[in-house]
Amino acid sequence: MNDLTKPHIVMIMADQLRADLITPQFAPNIHKLSQESFRFNRAYCASPLCVPARGSFFTGRYPNQTGCLINPWEAKDATHGHVRRNIPNLYQLLENDWDSWHTGKQHLLTEDRFDRSESSHTSWLPLEGRYAKHLKEQGKRMPGGALFKGIVPEMASGTTTRPATYSIPTTGCYEEGFDAFFDGFILNDSLHALQHRDRTKPLFLSAMFLAPHPPLEIPEPWYSMYTQTDITLPENVGVWSKHQSPLQLYNLTGAIGVRYSREEWHRIWTVYTGLVRLLDDCVGRIIQELKTQGIYDDTLLIFTSDHGEMLGSHSLWQKMCMYEESVRTPLLLKFPERFKCEAQESNALVSAIDIVPTLCDYLGLPIPEGVAGTSLLPLVNGHHWNRDKLFIQFDGNGARGNFQRCVIEGDYKLIVDWFKDEIFIELYDLASDAQELINLAFQDVHRPRILSLLEYLREHMLATGDLLKIPDDAYAMFIDRYTPFAF
């Protein structure tokens, strides 16, 4: 492609957005966008955690391959929270030929700090640092605070438990208003990028919103926009399933999530859905600006989220687990008008690692060596998809611990949950049990499938350089340990 034929590219990423809330009620602009886009109905993150999820999304590689496994908040484990040197990312692939801008959350962390390098041709407008300075200049306080945080146990280096402070689902009204809110600031930066772009070049805008990530202290009118009568809770909210992994109780997800009843989650949902609507209004503003400038029809617009949010499903909070609410993500590709899709949606298994090769394929760019993902264009063009398995991993939040591995094959999902020397196994049939309420791992009829999926996991972990190894007798040990307590 020459500069005259290259499309504009606008990437909008939410943070911690449940895919099932993209509805006309809670996200009318995004829902309308979905009707104009190719929809991937079974898209998954590579890891249900911000930093490793983005490391994989922007490089096209699994976390094991990037080296970015956790959020690097614990100094002892921080080396596992950065993408290794010399692994190209999407910004670097585009910024020489596109007028490249970043706005919002910058959690693509790399060993070489590429975003701070003088060689970067991207215009960086990150949330970090700039937002706090903006609030100070305006004499306004940041959303959240002590009432929106709680202490939970967190394992460091897979060996040592320490207290850590993380968000809890406290809700409140942020009286400082939208322009002082995280996403008001990000939206204003995004509109600035659109209005001050270099119009002699095609645009690449990577707009990384924070919503609907906590804290759940949000401005009006979104704080009061929905009531409990507007919301029908999924069956699994506030419910601890009979054969759900008890190891989640050692993780932030369960340590916090089990403190709240279904009724309390219902009230929390009213604020979370308001925050989803706030995000949706931001997306609408960006789309309107693209239309005002007359470039919407020439833009490849990608909408997604880094991962999902449990929001009380399985009595869990935040992400950091392998249930659908945590790992399934929205993925919409709205192509330029001149590109005609042969289909409108796909139920094939796709991963965040597929975005980089898809964009390279569509734009005619060479796919970097070492990319593990596969171009999604064949699906868009109505062709058969040959992927039959998808892998996801979790290695801890701010430090290494609470490990989980997952493989999805067709409608079956196998989860291996680790805590110290314990391994708990779950198997779900997503076709008949979409809310994952029935763990099939204790049923002997499913033993051959479980052993087969465990072997696929072992092969994948070995091939990608995983630091962990599933014991050969993992399933037998699981059955021996847990069956007496299962029924």
Provide the 10 A C-beta neighbour count for residue 289: 18
Write down all domains in the chain, each with its CATH number in brackets.
8-384 (3.40.720.10)
Tokens of 302: 């990608």
Residue 435's φ and ψ, nearest 5 degrees, are -95, 10
Distance, CA of 130 to CA of 123 (rounded, Å): 14
pLDDT at 343: 82
Q: Whose CA is closest to 14, among 325, 308, 349?
A: 308
pLDDT in tens, 236-274: 999 999 999 999 999 999 999 999 999 999 999 999 999
- The residue type found at 111 is E
Distance, CA of 181 to CA of 218 (rounded, Å): 8
pLDDT at 154: 86
Average pLDDT value over all residues in the chain = 96
pLDDT at 100: 98
pLDDT at 486: 62
pTM of the model: 0.97
Q: Give the helix ranges, DSSP H, for 293-329.
A: 324-327
Enter the DSSP assignment of 79. Answer: G
Percent of the chain at pLDDT > 70 equals: 99
User: Cβ(138)–Cβ(184) under 8 Å?
Assistant: no
> Which of the residues in the chain have pLDDT under 50?
1-2
| CA angle at 370 for the pair 369 and 371, rounded to the nearest 5° | 95
- Is the preceding peptide bond at 52 cis, omega within 30 degrees of 0? no
pLDDT in tens, 282-304: 999 999 999 999 999 999 999 99
